[in-house]
Amino acid sequence: MTAIAMDSTVRPRPARMWRAVLLLHRAALIGWVVFVTAVSGGLLWAYGPGGNTARADWQRQCTGDACSWSSAITLYHAAYTVAELLIGWIPYLAAVWAGTFVARELERGTTRLAWTQSVSPTRWLATTLAVPAALVTAGSTLMVLLHRLLFDAHQVPLSWNQWNDETFTANGTLAIVYPLLGLAVGTLAGFLQRHVLTAAGLSIAAMALAVTTLGFARPYLWPTVTRVTNVGIGYDAPPNVLNVDQGAVTATGAHVTDTCFADTKCLKAVDITGYYVDYHPASHFWPLQLVETGIVVALAALVLAVAFTLLRRRTG
């Protein structure tokens, strides 16, 4: 009797929601695995056999000033470029997925059924986001590591610039945190617009605004380096830098807009003695990357806080 009494006081083991989330979104999970596998496979191919063949063709055909690209070189460059584009789409895909899922669940009323099964609204949303966030982070990290591996190997001397927006994102932590921001933005959009198509459109628009705004602000997130040269030399920024600003320098040392454009009479008339260039050297890659990463993480946390606040208010 004692054993029976003790057993009757044992509470039922709570359902493991993460399993339910995986089962509910198995189609999206399969699609994500295929996506990561395809991008990773393309990067590995370019790093291995594709890069070896392209390098051999380059050494054989491009010994002089003239160079004609072979199909091997073209495919090598295409694999790199397409991988960057696909990695850049991930935040938008994450935003659309989260927005349409939340909007559909609220529109159909299935969330209230889940909330009656010993699952609180807060736990439901937290688990719903935690599972895809973990999967997206793992896949994005793998693709970033492979992209950096290929970029650093640089087996064919093509014009790959680490300061290009697509390359800058895919080469560092931004490609990992922007999808998390996409999940947060999509979730909030789903709460604000309970219609699937409207939520998807709002998610894409909000992510585009965030990515564009931070892209414009990026050069100003870290102090620049300034190089001043005399009139005879002209503008002289070193290679592999991110140019931020340039102009003329007066005899007093003031930096002004260059309105003379190398006109000797104009230079003397306005007392211009040289030129300046503000830029970020290659060593500023990680400071800029990490500062923007911190901003994205903080923004994602803020958006999620708003989403959870809306959820609590609507569920009492």
Cα angle 186, 190, 195; round to 5: 130
The pLDDT value given to residue 12: 43
Whether the Cβ atoms of residue 75 and residue 50 lie closer than 8 Å to each other: yes
- Give the three-state DSSP class for 1: coil
The pLDDT value given to residue 24: 67
290 vs 174: CA distance, rounded Å: 8
Q: Which amino acid is at 173?
A: T
124 vs 122: CA distance, rounded Å: 5
- Give the three-state DSSP class for 228: strand
256 vs 258: CA distance, rounded Å: 6
The pLDDT value given to residue 126: 83
Whether the Cβ atoms of residue 248 and residue 266 lie closer than 8 Å to each other: no
Whether the Cβ atoms of residue 222 and residue 280 lie closer than 8 Å to each other: yes
The pLDDT value given to residue 8: 45
145 vs 19: CA distance, rounded Å: 28
Nearest to 100 by CA among 18, 182, 8: 182
64: burial class by Cβ within 10 Å (0-12, 13-18, 19+)?
exposed
247 vs 245: CA distance, rounded Å: 7
What DSSP state is assigned to residue 283?
G
Spell out, as residue ranges, where the chain has pLDDT lower than 70. Answer: 1-24, 63-66, 109-119, 316
Nearest to 300 by CA among 142, 186, 131, 153: 186
Q: How many residues does the chain have?
A: 316
Which two tokens mark 66? 């003239």
Whether the Cβ atoms of residue 102 and residue 94 lie closer than 8 Å to each other: no
In three-state form (DSSP H/G/I as H, E/B as E, the rest C), the secondary structure along 8-42 is: HCCCCCCCCHHHHHHHHCHHHHHHHHHHHHHHHHH
Kindly list the strands in the beta sheet with 242-250, ordered across the sheet, starting from the edge strand earlier in the chain.
225-230, 272-280, 242-250, 255-256
The pLDDT value given to residue 1: 43
The pLDDT value given to residue 53: 92
Query: Positive or negative, the Cα torsion across 305, 308, 313, 316?
Result: negative
Whether the Cβ atoms of residue 103 and residue 196 lie closer than 8 Å to each other: yes
The pLDDT value given to residue 118: 61
The pLDDT value given to residue 18: 57
The pLDDT value given to residue 107: 75
Domain coordinates in residue numbering, the chain: 16-220+287-315, 225-284
What is the rounded (10 degree) CA torsion for 212, 217, 221, 222?
Answer: 110
